[in-house]
Chains A and B, each alone.
Chain A
Amino acid sequence: MSATHLKLLAAFSALFYAVSFLFSIKKCKKRRLLAVLWGLGYAANLALVLNNYFVNGYVPFVSMYQVLTFLAACFLPIYAYMRAFRGGRRTECAYAAIPSVIMVGLVFMDANSKWSFPPALQSPWFVPHVLVYMIAYTMAALAFVFAVCALVMHKSARGELFLRDTYDAVCVSYPFMTMGMFFGAIWANEVWGHFWSWDTKEIWALMTWLVYTLYLHFHHDAKLKKLESALAIVGFVGVIVTFFFVNIFSSGVHSYA
């Protein structure tokens, strides 16, 4: 597929995600239509992921473009999991809005999906490390959206529901974030002989993890509960810095993307 085709596919996906988001906030009664629109957006997203895979011949987690494409594709399966196994509410608007934003970003990114796969990344730990972080970041983004909603509606009953949604999202994100950090540490020990090398990305990942640790502790304290939404927001700022800014502004063992 040419770069133009990839951009078109991303735009197509963004459009359908955005339309399904609009339908979901309007409480559209035609749920089947919503599902079809969301499914179309997801199909385009999945096509991009598969293209990245087949062009490269390995799991498409090397460049920022590949990782973002995969990240956007995580939302729908996670929504299905949250609904089926964790009693999640019908908050599909958040699950459709975030991938829509990501897809808009992808339209403006370099769509060259052919990337070299450096020797250090050719490890069995590579896929689990990135995969669990993708799940963790997906849930952290959702926790952020729910926390903002909870802050906006803090005086109403819906605010309370959003607070619980935030907690549910963090409860799923946190174990995956921990796994990602540990898998990365074990992998680093296999490649460089250090579990931890105080690389800028590692420090920010640790700080983000500590903020979410604080969030989980504050949640169980009646007096400090007021701060939990703020912490979920700060935690997501940490995720953004770790995921985007550290790659752009610093070099180190994570400077591949």
Chain B
Amino acid sequence: MIKFRRISYIILSLLCALLLCMSIVATARGDGDMMHSIPTLVIFSVYALLQIACIALFEFGLTPKKIGFYLLHLGLLVMLVGFLVYVISGEYYTLSFSVGEGYSGFYKEDGDYEAFGFGMSIESFEVEKYEDGTDRRYLANVAFSDGTNDTLEVNKTLRRGGYKIYLMDYSDGSREFVQTFGHHSFDYVFSGQNWDEVSGQLEGIDHPIEYFFYYSKRTGGYVSEGITDAALSAELDGPCTARVLVSGGKAYVYVNRLTVELAFKRDPGEWAVIVGMCMTLCGVVTTCLIRPRRKSEKKEDETA
């Protein structure tokens, strides 16, 4: 038993060292995905085996401390099982929605179409700002194909058709555009209900205009050349904003519609992970915090 214990400590130390090395390499390479790779799975598999061995070899008993031991180690195992269930059968996708645009599924990386089993669109998107310009709150009003509406917020998810829907982020790409030109802000900002309304405001600028359009839903990518009013009019079929930078005597116009990033997750192992966490916590509290101090210890303290 003592021999096993020591081996398990060595394995635990090695796992710790391995995690440290992986963390350093992942940080140095700026590659966070590295931690989702096979070595991590190997680490967790070894860890799970260690937990099973600990439970199997531990001397059975029903004292609070021993119950704590079982809860702790079993809880860690249940968590790992939940994680495994997610890896095997869970799904996680992110989609960029434009306001007014709807989806009822999407194409996966392998080309297969994944249907949600429901349709949804973003009716409107609101952003509240602090005085310093940072986001205070943002929320999307979502309409579902069954006629119901709901609000999606950061920290307020929706459940629909077995999916949990998250509001992740939003972007109009303007920040990157300003940075490309080495500016801190735009010289002009024009908003309107459609492109025709916005282009009318752009006519007031005294500099020759170069259009830039960052992301096109139709081509599925970045567009910066050959942009005509007709193309923009077709692309921007709703409210939009034009931001103008004046540089070298030319006006560079960045036009883009706001996109809202949503995540869709189906995780059958979620409850196992949460139950495992509760068990582990109960176990840790029982073994560490509930520790009646012996009278002899108290006496020693007083004399010291």
Chain A residues packing against B (C-beta within 8 Å): 86-87, 89, 116-120, 122-123, 157-158, 161, 164, 171-172, 174-175, 178-179, 182, 185-186, 189-195, 197-200, 203-204, 206-207, 210-211, 213-214, 216-218, 221, 224, 250, 252
Contact = CB atoms under 8 A, between A and B. Distances in A.
Contact of B138 (A119, A158, A189, A217): A119
A217 B9 contact: yes
Given A174-B288, A193-B166, A214-B9, A119 B270 contact: no
Nearest to B86: A195
B218 interface: no
Interface stretch (B172-180, B237-245, B279-287): B279-287
Contact of A186 (B136, B263, B274): B274
A193 B164 contact: yes
A210 B6 contact: no
Contacts, number: 122
Question: What are the 3 tightest A-B residue pairs by CB atom distance, in nearest-first order?
Answer: A198-B35, A119-B154, A193-B265
Given A203-B23, A218-B9, A182 B132 contact: no
Contact of A213 (B12, B26, B92, B157): B12
20 contacts: A86-B291, A87-B297, A89-B304, A116-B136, A119-B137, A164-B297, A171-B288, A171-B289, A174-B288, A179-B281, A186-B274, A186-B277, A190-B155, A193-B263, A198-B26, A198-B32, A200-B26, A204-B23, A210-B12, A224-B6
Contacts of A161: 300-301, 304
Contacts of B40: 198
B130 A116 contact: yes
A211 B12 CA distance: 9
Nearest to A195: B273
A195 B19 CA distance: 18
B184 interface: no
B154 A203 contact: no
Contact of B134 (A89, A118, A179): A118
Given A200-B27, A214-B9, A250-B27, A87 B288 contact: no
A217 B273 contact: no
Contacts of A199: 32
A192 B263 contact: yes
A107 B112 CA distance: 59
B159 to A, nearest CB: 12
A87 B16 CA distance: 33
Contacts of B293: 86-87
Contacts of A171: 288-289, 291
Given A87-B298, A174-B284, A203-B19, 14 more contacts: A86-B293, A116-B132, A122-B137, A174-B288, A178-B281, A189-B270, A192-B168, A193-B166, A197-B32, A199-B32, A200-B27, A204-B23, A217-B9, A221-B5
Contact of A214 (B16, B22, B267): B16
Contacts of B284: 174-175, 178
B15 A210 contact: yes
Nearest to B273: A195
A185 to B, nearest CB: 7
Given A193-B166, A250-B27, A175 B281 contact: yes
A59 B148 CA distance: 36
A123 B16 contact: no
Contact of A182 (B166, B277, B304): B277
Contact of B12 (A87, A178, A214, A252): A214
Nearest to A250: B27
Given A186-B274, A207-B19, A210-B15, A118 B157 contact: no
B298 to A, nearest CB: 6
Contacts of A195: 83, 273
Interface string B24-35: 001100001001
A206 B22 CA distance: 13
B204 to A, nearest CB: 34
A87 B302 CA distance: 10
A175 B280 contact: no
B121 to A, nearest CB: 20
A119 B168 CA distance: 10
